[in-house]
Structure 1
Amino acid sequence: MTTTNVRDLVSAEEWQVRVDLAACYNIVAQYGWDDLIFTHISARVPGPEHHFLINPYGMMFEEVSASSLVKVDLQGNKVMASEYEINPAGFTIHSAVHEARADAQCVMHLHTNAGVAVSAQQEGLRAISQQSLFPLSNLSYHPYEGVALNPEEKKRLVADLGETQFMILRNHGLLTCAETIADAFLGMYILQRACEIQVLAQSGGQELTPIPAAILAGIQQAGKTVTRNAGGQLAWPGLLRRLDRSGAPYKL
């Protein structure tokens, strides 16, 4: 199916979501956060149907384009013709969150080295950096249950997630969800940076200095002030300009 065919078959609103989601995949590849083809970012399609877009299984993240994304329903059935299939484990996690949370328009799940390293630590993410404070104010954990192929895990994952926007999947990786793709990306960027800093700080071999708990209380309002209430949208246009300079295929 060509780019023109897909764009002609969907609404302008869906096409914009496709462009932004494909951009997110391309950006993740640029940061080196991809795990070959084995992690996922999904976004809900605008409209009354509970359909969402996810990566074509087998395509590298730097190859993902707006037209190549696969549209599926909550049962994992393709609702638009595509030559690609989807990863069943990715579908289990993402469909669970999309079905349970109306505000989770975008769900982002990665297996970065630093994220998996922190997920394996008993204490999890620690309040040792400014970056860590933002996810710590809205963070949940889900215990490892093996490769996510069991539909019964969905209800437990959703219960653990609750109303949070950041989740550490024990021995597995990181997850963020948000109302926009830009916000889900910014959340993941901050969580990933916090994990990287923690692992680097621990490698120094000295006792770490924790941030006082009282500072954590006002961190969400501080975040809104720093981003001028724009959230991820403040940085998103610049990220797209970087993609354009690199010739990334997200608009195709």
Structure 2
Amino acid sequence: MSRTPLSPPAPAGMSEVEWAARLDLAAAYRLGAQMGWSDLLGTHFSMRIPGTVDEYLVNPYGLFFEEITASSLIRINTCGEINGQSEYGVNKAADVIHGGLYAAHPQAQAAIHLHSVAGTGVASQHDGLLPASQSALMILSRVRYYDYTGARLDREECARMAAAVGNGQILMLRNHGTLTVGASLGEAFCLMVRLERACAIQLAAQAGGRLREIDPLQVEESIRFGASIYSEQSWSPRAKVEWAAFRRKIDREDPGYAV
């Protein structure tokens, strides 16, 4: 979690660690709004509450991304039980997708699910994300796939979805959207930024004609190098450097999240 000038003290009765998590997640939603990541009320980011096993924060079902504040986020557990008062409920899909993910992956600390044009476009292609650009190569080692099973989701379906993540961090939901998982919110967010860019580049290149293939040896080496980004040995473990920059950006441009 990041500390910035817009990190007010926690409200009475709330721990500092939960409040810091709320500030991070609300900041991520405001950044997502700037990036055009929303789909009406249908997509969601979440963050496990530090120090808990089965509780996490997610957006209220009724607010656009640009309306979300730290105090408006909903605390919920992996069984779908809401802790606290809110005039809004939780999107059922958010409950089962994120709840299933946190139950299956104790190491997961945050997740982002989108229905973006670029991400869904590539997820709907037969071959998925191609090794067609450096942006794609940097994340390909983390990419997994899950076939479309319809719009209705239940806990059993989402358990299978969580299992499909396996040891990856990026799930291409065929004909549906994308999902990233991180050991921190910053990591999940930055992986989604990278994925969105890789997908947009692929679609643009395909629209321009036949893709130029990269030498297989360079593909292999670049994928191997990409697997090390955000590791503890990297220059930015868990994307903490990029996330700190994103927090500074949203503090400058849309500080209303920090209430």
2-structure distance, mates of 1:92, 1:223: 27
The offset of 1:156, in angstroms, is: 1.6
Conserved 8 A contact 2:138-2:225:
no
- One-letter amino acid matched to 2:54: H
- Give 2:3's aligned residue: none
Return closer, same or farther for 1:223/1:243 CA change in 2, 3 Å cut-off.
closer
Q: 2:225 corresponds to which residue?
A: 218
Shift in Å, 1:173 = 0.8
Q: Distance in 1 between matches of 2:69 and 2:100?
A: 25
Uncovered stretches (5+) of structure 2, i.e. residues with no partner: 1-7
Match of 1:242 in 2: 249
- Counterpart amino acid of residue 220 in structure 2: A
- Give the Cα separation in 1 of the matches to 2:177 and 2:168: 16
Give secondary structure in 1 for the equivalent of 2:155: coil
Do the aligned partners of residues 48 and 90 (structure 1) sit closer, same or farther apart at CA in structure 2, a change above 3 Å counting? Answer: closer
1:183 aligned partner, one-letter code:
E
TM-score of the two chains, using structure 2 as the length reference: 0.90
Alignment correspondent of 1:44: 48
Cα 1:95–1:122 change in 2 (3 A) is same
**What's 2:141 paired with?**
137
Question: TM-score when scaled to structure 1?
Answer: 0.92
5+ long unaligned stretches in structure 1 = none
Q: Which residue of 1 aligns with 2:161?
A: 157
1:121 corresponds to which residue? 125
C-alpha spacing 1:120/1:230, structure 2 compared with 1 (3 Å): same
Q: Secondary structure at the match of 1:41?
A: strand
Is structure 2 residue 28 aligned with structure 1 residue 24?
Answer: yes
- Distance (Å, rounded) in 2 between the aligned partners of 1:144 and 1:174: 12
What is the CA-CA distance between 1:147 and the residue it aligns to? 1.6
CA separation of 1:189 and 1:227: change in aligned 2, threshold 3 A: farther
Q: Alpha-carbon deviation of 1:159?
A: 2.1
Cα distance change of structure 1 residues 242 and 114 upon mapping to structure 2, 3 Å threshold: same
Structure 1 runs of 4+ aligned residues shifted over 4 Å read 222-227
Q: Distance in 2 between matches of 1:155 and 1:225?
A: 29
Instruction: Name the aligned partner's letter for residue 198 of structure 1.
Output: Q
Per-residue Cα deviation, 1:132-154 (whole angstroms, up to 9, x for no partner):
11221111101111124222202
The percent identity for this pair of structures is: 38
1:104 paired to 2:116? no
Distance 2:125 2:67 in 1: 33
Aligned-pair CA distance for 1:74: 1.2
1:195 aligns with: 199
Shift of 1:227: 5.7
Amino acid in the other structure paired with 1:66: A
Deviation at 1:161, TM superposition (A): 1.1
Paired residue total: 249
1:51 and 1:72 in contact (8 A); partners too: yes
What is the Cα deviation at residue 175 of structure 1? 0.6
Contact 1:109–1:173 at 8 Å: present in 2 too? yes
Aligned-partner Cα distance in 2 for 1:198–1:55: 30
Cα distance in structure 2, aligned partners of 1:224 and 1:100: 21
Partners of 1:214 and 1:49 in 2: how far apart? 37
